[in-house]
Amino acid sequence: MQISKYWKAVVAAVAAGAGSLGTAMHDGTVTSAEGVTAALIALGALGVVWKVPNREPKDSA
């Protein structure tokens, strides 16, 4: 299975943002600071994962 670097980065950003928002929702509300933090975490994950190249597949022969 080969996943492009684009989808890999999008999935990482969604997972990081959702995790941050899940933690922020612990008290039942999301403040503007928590929302900004979640957005920055998602953008950071997107950028870092986008930059890391996919490993070349090995021959299974």
The lowest-confidence range among 9-13, 21-25, 49-53 is 49-53
The count of other CB atoms within 10 Å of the CB of residue 38 is 20
DSSP sequence for 26-56: GGS---HHHHHHHHHHHHHHHHHHHHSPPPP
Sorted by where each begins, the domain ranges of the chain are 5-51
Task: Single out the residue of 16, 19, 9 nearest to residue 41, CA to CA.
Answer: 16
- Looking at residues 32-60, what average pLDDT do you find? 88
Continuous segment of H or E residues that includes residue 9: helix 5-24
How does residue 58 score in pLDDT terms, banded at 50, 70 and 90? confident
- 44 phi and psi, to 5 degrees? -65, -45
